[in-house]
Structure 1
Amino acid sequence: MARMHTRRRGSSGSDKPAADEPPEWSDVDEDAVEERVVELAEQGHSPSQIGLKLRDEGVQGTPIPDVSLATGKKVTEILADNEASPELPEDLRNLMERAVRLRDHMDENPGDYQNKRALQNTQSKIRRLADYYRGDELDADFTYSYDTAVELLDDA
């Protein structure tokens, strides 16, 4: 399958090894893992950063290679259960940050046509993703614009 905004094909990535249960060396209590996830979320970390911190630092010095194997829930599910989930989905937030950064660059460099196209592609991805999230994680009347993106990113 080709990429969204080019005719090139993407390079295949590696898959995680199939596992049904956490390794025996990582025997941390589920409640301790959930507490650590909520604690990291309150410190302002995104769900992917939480996963990396648990992999690298762990809980009580024991690394957690896969949160869903250790607890039976994904990081976002744990955050939703404890009412600590972010107000914007992480992928949409990252795209909005990129669009704001590109727009600021375009204001300073109006002749940069490569980044003008990159901004158009990013905004297209944001609109497509907003259609997906509209009604569930976003308001039913949400529409993307530069001003709303700046406002949403400044609030959080």
Structure 2
Amino acid sequence: MIMGRMYSLGRGISSSVTPYRKNSYDFKGITSENLSKIIIKLFKSGLTPSQIGMKFRDEYAIVDVRNISNYNLVSLAKKRGLRIEIPEDLFFLVRRAVVIKKHLKRFPKDLSNKYRLTQIESHINRLSRYYKRKNKIPDNWSYKLSKISDTNV
């Protein structure tokens, strides 16, 4: 038996699935080398992997990078020498916690957001344990709001 969602509003276990494709398609003459050059340029300009994926979908009509290069976006960037400091989902959770913490400084009696902050912090701690186990973040990485400022996030 599979558990339901823990951190989202969905109650079931159903989710969307990427269609299965065995072969790659020729997208407007974009080769694997051209694609990796574009990815490197976009990563260096400061875009997140999801923003790069949306840009590929909207501007280049490329739905799945893996169909062209046999690598996903993040592993292609790592292969080319670009280092992603913390995974994107963890980064956005930390950013959301910082925003809520700032809000709670202005409105300390906002109990629902206090509760949401504890939920987000437990989500961050659970994800960080997983990423430490998978060696995606350093073992000494820790989440402390006092350490994290607005310049880091």
Provide the C-alpha distance between the structure 1 equivalents of 2:126 and 2:117, rounded to a whole number of angstroms: 14
State how 1:1-156 maps to structure 2 within 5 Å. 1-4=3-6, 9-10=11-12, 12-58=14-60, 63-134=61-132, 136-150=135-149, 154-155=151-152
CA deviations over 1:39-58 (Å, ceiling 9, x no partner): 00000001111111111112
Instruction: Decide whether the 8 Å contact of 2:86 with 2:137 is kept in 1.
Output: yes
Distance 2:8 2:33 in 1: 45
| d(CA) in 1 for partners of 2:57, 2:23 | 16
Cα pair 1:95 1:122 within 8 Å, conserved: yes
- Residues 88 and 138 in structure 1, CA contact (< 8 A), matched pair in contact too: yes
Gaps of 5+ in 1: none
Q: Distance in 2 between matches of 1:69 and 1:8?
A: 29
CA offset at residue 2 of structure 1? Answer: 2.8
TM-score between both structures, scaled by the size of structure 1: 0.84
Q: Distance in 2 between matches of 1:94 and 1:5?
A: 14
- % same residue: 29
Q: Which stretch shifts more, 104-113 or 127-136?
A: 127-136
d(CA) in 1 for partners of 2:63, 2:74: 16
Shift of the alpha carbon at 1:134?
Answer: 2.1
Alignment size in residue pairs: 150
Provide the rounded CA distance (Å) in 2 between the counterparts of 1:12 and 1:104.
35
**3-state secondary structure, aligned to 2:147:** helix
- Aligned-residue CA RMSD in angstroms? 2.3
Question: Runs of 5+ in structure 2 lacking a partner?
Answer: none
Deviates more, 1:17-26 or 1:114-123: 17-26
Whichever residue aligns with residue 25 of structure 2, its letter is P
Higher mean Cα deviation, 139-148 or 17-26? 17-26
1:22 touches 1:69 (CA, 8 Å); kept in 2? yes
